[in-house]
A and B are shown apart, each in its own frame.
Chain A
């Protein structure tokens, strides 16, 4: 019985959020967002873990062995794909912002709007 994995997820979430709030650069901000999202991977995989169970791959274990939940692994896979696409779109928006305003600082972006 341990809550450490959940604590890691909460810590990753908050530390990423801190990075987003204090970010002075849009690229840095996107990376911080991926840190926030990685907290959801830790949380999902921690939820599905069962004490003493193997990975749900039956290539080299008997089918009677207890395994961890395969559904959360599937959900994590979806999560990773969504994160990659969000990062790609945000990075191309950052490229556009830099081209239009000549800066990547979110605070200056607002000032230059007009």
Chain B
């Protein structure tokens, strides 16, 4: 039956029954969209996720402003754990056709150094790329570093630049095919350096691409207007002026494959150049007229194939970055035209010739606009060429406390014939050790918490409170700590013993309390607020660090004398929460040798039907150990099967220091009006306790069954019953 009903409905007896809710009879309209959610949707999107997805042969994801930088937390211990990450690309650059790529890996400082054999681009390890010169580096600066010197650029290497004003890039291949239309653009008010590389196969020493000025058009990107005539005049061309690409002026033939032709640097034009406003670009478009394989008749024709020339460009509003240096003792004098630096600026110096030492230095003096000096750490007498990479006076504090991965080398997609791509496939990297944190799990050593990578939930919790500025290692008094710290080492020992580790990428902006509350059960813990201070407590009784299989002693026993009359109530769990089911556990494999994948494991009691209801638990955010996933499944199954109800009662003020997770015993008489009185003895686990000013306490607790020997029935089942694990 189609259509919608409204108003009244005729019942079986002929009455007209008003419909209060027609939701069963009509389809729901599309729900409204929440406003201002673009960044959240980006964080939630699988396309920008930082955990490797099933498709590893995909294009590199680019970072977007507002995107959350993840936290890579974990540590591989006894062949368990470590973390695979698929980071976003934040910057790309090129110098002499060697690519540079910068990826945002993690908030905090990653402990592991990146290595090629654990870094993949697409489905291939970098260790086996054709370019064997690829290098990997981490760049990291603390918040304190950048607060002290905000113009320091933490990005090393000299080919990637802090800020957005200076950048380099490769153009697409300008193909050596007559009729091919080629377009490029640049900001005429910036410094603009360009060079070409010859791409091809075999001998191209006499092959030249030709055209005339008549094949060149120029446009103003601001309004699309044609400024060709003005551009010709600027270049001194007439329509028949011959132009060549790949022509070697020394031979009048062509460049050989791999030769780089330098065109030098264009300096900024005066305002109003060709009518182009500031911020717009000059767009040049030309059409290749012909390809001449014997440009110099005096030389033999080329026998190879010229694919074309590929342009590399660097644009910057600042005076150009190439220069020379002369070092005497520790004083280094740099000569670079209109360098723009002032005393106190930090510069990254890349030495390209001579014996100078590369590094980050502070400008000591500025004798004139074209030279400055800095003090080197090593006394030398040398000179040569250098390269300056810093945008002068920039505030780079946004780089604070982020680990960046810098890759230098050719990781572009393998080119097909005649094609030189400028894009790469997605990078994946494995870290044995994630961010450096205070190791509360190991306790204080000489009054401080040692620092290092960790796979302990308690260390993650304290790290999150640390970056939220509510904890500061041993500087925070124990009583002012957001989390009760005295039991963290014993909880970590328990987790170590059973393999309950956190190895994962925290990639979405989450609430700390919500996160820890939802994670704790998977680690057999409860995250509590005990008198205003947060606290982890095991959900099953422990004997030392192991699950307690001995007879339990209740923390308190409540009899009729302690329970306020009329305050006791019992609520049974719904049947849906008590029936046997199959637990499907999701976790993530962390094999250093291959990109991690999501896995499942099914757990059920041996006696559970194969077609029993299924419930799925997602541990992929942190679990890399099948035993961990299986253990939690067994706990969940046992608790559902054995714990049947919860209770609430009031009692006089408690003087025994009870807290949630404590095990108590209720021994009371059930007295009824019909006289069928009887004794009821049950064990419970406290879930909340509150005190009021009138002198009573309210306790809520869950049924915590014990065996005839007073052993926790859940623990006994978890450790001794037979489970079907697939």
Partners in one complex: no
Show the binding face of B for A, using Cβ within 8 Å. none
Show the binding face of A for B, using Cβ within 8 Å. none
